[in-house]
Structure 1
């Protein structure tokens, strides 16, 4: 009997090994170029490192394997593309087949877990959360909170002047990190005072983003998915810097939502007069027809909850902080770098700001007149789409896309860097930094070809808020200072396994005459 057990175990191991060997050539068997990888892990270790950013690795692979190719990330089949036709099919035309985003190995279940936010959710749940969140990011809502954002922008420039107004070199990125977190804390956590360089949340969120995912626990979960429940149970009980940071942030958010609910109960006269976006989330309500209107897809006959639950409000705040922090702060940092290296672009921005922003405070309508400034922000995101990791979709059922058979659970990732540099889309000057392209009458590209904010029904819901934050910060900074280069280097050093973050953005600010 013992021999039978040993034989059965040995046979099982051989069969499992044979399956992994067979599966390791998943894309090659389908006639699609495949990045070589290791048994069990595939090419996973190449795209999980802090110092070798995934987005840049994909760009390099595109140069080697072409517009569309595949790789194995553990047991996950990943198809990478910068082909606009495929991207349009996945993100828009076949959205019903690709409505899920990439989910982290240790993330909550997007269909069942109560603590799932808009970014992670999918299907009817996503449709409902999206519809409930849309009014919070409308132009009318942005006008209500513009003053909160502007207070932080003015305070940031004041501190920048106090510390570095004499023209010495400094890292401007850290100021934008402080500004963005200050704004977010006021909008969704109920913070009343400005707390630049006194806010612990900056370090907490940076610790969550700027880390190496090439970790034995992550790799084990990728190679052997049946271990994930056990790994989750262990990870949630570990006392590490990351788990402590995550718990502290969630505790602060739960306290903020709880306290605001108590305040609203004690002062019912404030209902309907939101002070910030936290109030807007708590006020949110929606009808079934609104869900269909805001998402473009029909719901089933199932009962629809028409307001956000406590857990959902808390999770909306979580995603607001995580998605809104790195994106806006990095966007401003890269924009400052490009302005310092393209003084003619900076001068045009300043001329436009001087023309339309004549008062101490800038109205939302005047901000909307800054077309060249906005074109500059968009061009920075075209040349350096640092947040493009969100441009992924999970196949929810077997389908065919542009002649390629895609099986359920396959992950589609867009190489936005390569798509944004495609001369067949953007012209011969695709690799040049030229904001003017966005204002030219004959400028026309497929809408899906610009992937800085995603695309299709799941396009970034906070896009307008992010642009407002950037334009307010730039307007108040550039009306008072010139941003100048402080190094002979022409390229920034970057890192980030998720978001592509500059390590240092050395500049000088010089008062304008």
Structure 2
């Protein structure tokens, strides 16, 4: 008994001095830091509250402790910075040394777990997954899937007009969630038709993004990171709200992948080539291989020099489809919601967007042949027009037209400066970026940094008239999609989806705030999601 008590006392004393030593990490280096609220849990209790998003906490702490400071995620020392030079070094110049994102909450071992997706992967595995996925987001691929995106948009516009035109305020964010899930379901999972307001995946994935991580098990994971595998195993084997949606969606995707594999085995003559896939599952299955080495690399490993194969395991096929659904749902829906709100609050900007859409996408400009040299052959032009009208309707907007909506794109980019959706992902190992402070830094954006201005009269040394001039924002100063080699692979698709939706909506409607005193509130333990976006739509004036 005495021996046991001595052992317990020794263990307790060792843990106490360990946490005491860890708590003084930044002080020993003369670096500013947020005082830990707890010796064991550090600042953990302040960082996972759904109603106080951590990316806004970073902004508040920066005002108090400066551009670069330390915080304690339990036993982990985390550096937070909005210093552009440091961000540039970490994300771009020294990518070989900082190629890994911070680990997910109660996430798997990214080096040994078989089911790892592009977002979490690191090292040669990340490079392999990136190389395999990249072709699906090329300009050629986006042109091929544009009709699917547009069809989803037109269905959304029709329902929104029937339910809300000229009526009372409604939460437009709900429509955008349906739209992005409809689009990504058709692009990733082979969904054959629109399922607006009848798609069981929408509430499921919404719940996944709105999970509350301010829980004892999460704080224990950060205080004692070495027990993460045990806690993760418990969560995956005991029904709970943290993993219920995750497990359900993963099972659906696994069933879809296995069913597609059976179909391909039974009808090999119908298997699509790499240039003719029907959705992302086919794309990934074309790269499928029974076995794939995913081991850990030594200290001398250089990512830039790594040679990788272009094959996937079945677990990776499932994981890739899983993360593409999640990433394609939340970010674009939120971006559209914030843009609609800011347009309602800035009618002059909305008018300029509408004028540009009329100018670029008007009936004369929509005629096939006026842009591609076929105008001299009326028969060919008419055949192309008939095909487009048959597939997409007379109101179709081409990929080229979408690409030419420069002011609308500037508006979308300015929205993402105000609401950087991917801010939670702007991290490398134990370094996180305070994206909000960076996006409102007057030294980068000018004295009007807090004003919503897609364009500026004063270009001087600051940003590119915010966006419209052929000048670039300083590298790594704008991070809605990250920066460096790990910049969001779906950035082009997200922008095409957003511009296509806004172009069709603004052709028909004006956005108005629900009421004059309506406000926009946000929440989310990790991502920044609007609680509600109260909008009214009326016919164009």
TM-score by length of 2: 0.87
The CA deviation at 1:356 is: 1.5
1:445 aligns with 2:473: yes
| Deviation by residue 1:385-408 (Cα, 9 ceiling, x = unmatched) | 1321010000xxxxxxxxxxxxxx
- Alpha-carbon contact 1:264-1:271 (below 8 Å) kept: no
- Alpha-carbon contact 1:42-1:74 (below 8 Å) kept: yes
In the other structure, the counterpart of 1:274 is 277
In the other structure, the counterpart of 1:115 is 115
In the other structure, the counterpart of 1:501 is 529
| Deviation by residue 1:327-359 (Cα, 9 ceiling, x = unmatched) | 000000000000000011111111111112134
Secondary structure of the 1:503 match is strand
Secondary structure of the 1:502 match is strand
The CA deviation at 1:296 is: 7.8
The CA deviation at 1:276 is: 2.5
Partners of 2:445 and 2:326 in 1: how far apart?
31
In the other structure, the counterpart of 2:506 is 478
The CA deviation at 1:259 is: 2.4
Secondary structure of the 1:97 match is coil
**Relative to 1, partners in 2 of residues 1:284 and 1:149: Cα closer, same or farther, differing over 3 Å?**
farther
Structure 2, unpaired ranges of 5+: 290-301, 367-394, 456-464
Partners of 1:352 and 1:332 in 2: how far apart?
18
1:298 aligns with 2:305: yes
Partners of 2:215 and 2:175 in 1: how far apart?
31
Partners of 1:329 and 1:252 in 2: how far apart?
22
The CA deviation at 1:17 is: 0.5
The CA deviation at 1:88 is: 0.6
**Relative to 1, partners in 2 of residues 1:246 and 1:285: Cα closer, same or farther, differing over 3 Å?**
closer
Partners of 1:475 and 1:28 in 2: how far apart?
53
In the other structure, the counterpart of 2:216 is 216
**Relative to 1, partners in 2 of residues 1:39 and 1:212: Cα closer, same or farther, differing over 3 Å?**
same
The CA deviation at 1:176 is: 0.1
Aligned residues: 485
The CA deviation at 1:24 is: 1.0
| Deviation by residue 1:441-499 (Cα, 9 ceiling, x = unmatched) | 37543121001110011000000000011011101111011111112336411100111
In the other structure, the counterpart of 2:60 is 60
In the other structure, the counterpart of 1:342 is 346
Secondary structure of the 2:143 match is helix
The CA deviation at 1:4 is: 4.2
- Alpha-carbon contact 2:152-2:194 (below 8 Å) kept: yes
- Structural RMSD (CA): 1.8
- Alpha-carbon contact 2:189-2:279 (below 8 Å) kept: no
Partners of 1:268 and 1:315 in 2: how far apart?
27
- Extract structure 1 runs of 4+ deviating beyond 6 A: none
Partners of 1:335 and 1:381 in 2: how far apart?
8
- Alpha-carbon contact 2:407-2:468 (below 8 Å) kept: no
| Deviation by residue 1:78-125 (Cα, 9 ceiling, x = unmatched) | 000000000011111111111110112311111111100000000011
- Alpha-carbon contact 2:131-2:310 (below 8 Å) kept: no
Secondary structure of the 1:241 match is coil
In the other structure, the counterpart of 1:253 is 253
- Alpha-carbon contact 2:253-2:318 (below 8 Å) kept: yes
Q: How does 1:10-49 map to 2 (within 5 A)?
A: 10-37=9-36, 38-49=38-49
Partners of 1:225 and 1:427 in 2: how far apart?
42
In the other structure, the counterpart of 1:354 is 358
TM-score by length of 1: 0.91
In the other structure, the counterpart of 1:421 is 440
Instruction: Single out whichever of 95-104 and 265-274 deviates more from structure 2.
Output: 265-274
1:373 aligns with 2:408: yes
